[in-house]
Structure 1
Amino acid sequence: MPHPHLWPALVGAFVGIILLSLAAVWLVTRWKTLSKRRRWVLLSVLALVEVAYWLNVYAWFIEPNQLVVRHVEIVSEEWHGAPLRIAALSDTHVGSPHVDAARMGRIVQRVNELRPDLVVLLGDYAGSHEPEAQRSGRNQGEVLGGIATFAALRAPLGVVGVLGNHDVWYRRGTITRALEEAGVAALWNRNVVIGREGGDFVVAGLADDSTGDPDFSAALDGAEGHDTIVLSHSPDPFADMPRGPALMLAGHGHCGQVTIPLIGRPILPLRNKSYGCHLVEENGKRMYVSAGIGTSIVPVRFLNPPEIVLITIRPANAQPAIEGA
């Protein structure tokens, strides 16, 4: 069954196709009785309305259910160890329209097919805004079931994540426990050191920017001298990130969910709109902002499909691998 929030759109789509069909029949039956000018005016109006209708159908029902893999290569002077392949997932919003635990299982399988060294999760695993106590048992089960699918992630260096504002609104303790039970190291202003043959590195995770207090000093405590990656749900703290970390990864804004050609992204829930989407470079620092998986507020996407990001970070003096070598 469709998510309850999609029913108005489904009804609208059904009524819309009927009205468009009736309008087309009316125009065909009266075509010979209309003046040439009126024929083409009415035909143009009908064509524009139909284009708008199908664009809406695409944005409500098709693009939100797509999945793309974005391959990103970062060459950094701040990275000294062996190259590292990181798969990043953000804003899964399980329990909201388009994303349930079953779909999350398929997304996890796709991540595993990419064979990353490390998987990072960038927050907002829960859909909707209500606290845990106000949700139905079914919705609670859907949210926690979606997080439980992370237990199937396969990466030799593990899975590390941070929490987002929706997770804190749901209940921070519940989401943290669910992540840990799925084998995810859940970070909140702290870090983990990951050992490997190609050189140890640090993954530092910040507190959520809108419901907590991101603290770089605490998150990076002991990281000096290590290759470092910073995780943050929101990209806004990037402005305060000190030099040293090779890369920051973030989500939160879903790349606006909707991009209008020649206009841009009309809605970005960020203080710094220049941090809206994908690769950001500022003052010698780098950040990648993911479009995420799910939706929030309005369950639409247009020219911002759900994505898995596969990032390869390598030192500036490293030579790229040659395929087939």
Structure 2
Amino acid sequence: MLTDLHLKAVTHFHERIARAVEDSSPNAVVIIGDAVDGRDRLPLLSDFLGLLPGSVPRVATLGNWEYWGRVDLAALRRTYEAADTHLLVNESYILSEGAALFGTDDSLAGTPTLDGLVDLADREVVLLSHCPAFRDAIPAGLRGQVRAMLSGHTHGGQVAIGGWAPLLPPGSGPYTAGWYTEAGVPLYVSRGLGTSVLPLRLGSPPELAVLEWFVGGLSGSLPARSTRGSLPGPPGRRR
């Protein structure tokens, strides 16, 4: 699970991310929004996607910064498609007979809809939606079908003091980082990998989350493990 790359260069840091993804032996890779925040950054996204293992399904969603950065969304889709990555904008990706991913448009800057879940009634669904506050907009009638929701956006506050984030961006809702399993669809919020506005993190290190999904298993949250704190900040431009 990769979120909030905010690519400004492809560095050794991003090479380490790609190696960590490959070492986790994933069955799928998901990129949940804010991969780029400027229309001139698509070549960087292409370079980064070229580092990821190409032998597994890869899907992506939009975040608010793809809109706010005026990224050409048609060109963005072509960039993903050229790297064999499926951009999901209120669309689904079938993983197996019993499992599917559904990626929404960004709920802060776009127009998300869950209408396509009707076609997935015979499958368990993991919902990919960049802004975690969208969890509270999932209709009660669909919550039984959605096994879990995965989000980013918050950067864990980007600056946090003892786990407390004094400032969260709009679209975060009451969610900062980690699992939220009470009273609704289980939600996992990743701290993400990049930065926005200020090029620093304090008390909220970058995160690459690895989630295990047991289709047809017990209800509740998905087990999760992550490289919390093990990915150092970008050390310099990639050679």
Q: CA-to-partner distance for each residue in 1:84-142, whole Å, 9 max, x for gaps? A: xxxx00000111xxx53553233112210111111111011114xx5x2xxxxxxx3x5
Aligned to 1:306: 206
Structure 1 portions without partners, runs of 5+: 1-87, 133-139, 321-325
Residue 110 and residue 180 in structure 1: after superposition, are their counterparts in 2 closer, same or farther (change >3 A)?
Answer: same
Alignment partner of 1:228 out of 108, 125, 128 = 125
Aligned to 1:239: 136
Q: Supply the AA of the counterpart residue of 2:28.
A: L
Distance in 2 (alpha carbons) for counterparts of 1:234 and 1:107? 22
Whether 1:259 aligns to 2:148 is: no
Residue 157 and residue 247 in structure 1: after superposition, are their counterparts in 2 closer, same or farther (change >3 A)?
Answer: farther
* TM value normalised by structure 1: 0.60
Structure 2 portions without partners, runs of 5+: 224-239
Q: Supply the AA of the counterpart residue of 2:5.
A: T
Distance in 2 (alpha carbons) for counterparts of 1:233 and 1:271? 9
How does 1:52-71 map onto structure 2 within 5 Å?
none
How does 1:159-238 map onto structure 2 within 5 Å?
159-168=58-67, 169-195=70-96, 199-218=97-116, 220-238=117-135
Aligned to 1:316: 218
Aligned to 1:119: 29
Q: Which structure has more RCO (C-alpha within 8 Å, separation ≥ 6)?
A: 1
Aligned to 2:16: 106
Shift of 1:202: 0.9
Q: Supply the AA of the counterpart residue of 1:253.
A: T
Residue 103 and residue 272 in structure 1: after superposition, are their counterparts in 2 closer, same or farther (change >3 A)?
Answer: closer
Q: CA-to-partner distance for each residue in 1:19-63, whole Å, 9 max, x for gaps? A: xxxxxxxxxxxxxxxxxxxxxxxxxxxxxxxxxxxxxxxxxxxxx
Shift of 1:155: 6.7
Aligned to 2:53: 154
Shift of 1:270: 3.2
Distance in 2 (alpha carbons) for counterparts of 1:155 and 1:316? 31
Find the residue that maps to 2:108 and give its secondary structure.
coil
Residue 272 and residue 165 in structure 1: after superposition, are their counterparts in 2 closer, same or farther (change >3 A)?
Answer: closer
Residue 187 and residue 170 in structure 1: after superposition, are their counterparts in 2 closer, same or farther (change >3 A)?
Answer: same
Distance in 2 (alpha carbons) for counterparts of 1:209 and 1:118? 24
Distance in 2 (alpha carbons) for counterparts of 1:222 and 1:290? 28
Cα contact 1:291–1:306 (8 A) shared by 2: yes
Q: Supply the AA of the counterpart residue of 2:129.
A: S
Q: CA-to-partner distance for each residue in 1:221-267, whole Å, 9 max, x for gaps? A: 311120111101111111122311111111111111011138x2111
Aligned to 1:89: 2
Aligned residues: 212
Cα root mean square deviation, aligned: 2.2
Cα contact 1:192–1:204 (8 A) shared by 2: yes
Q: Which has the higher helix share?
A: 1
Cα contact 1:125–1:147 (8 A) shared by 2: no
Distance in 2 (alpha carbons) for counterparts of 1:308 and 1:184? 18
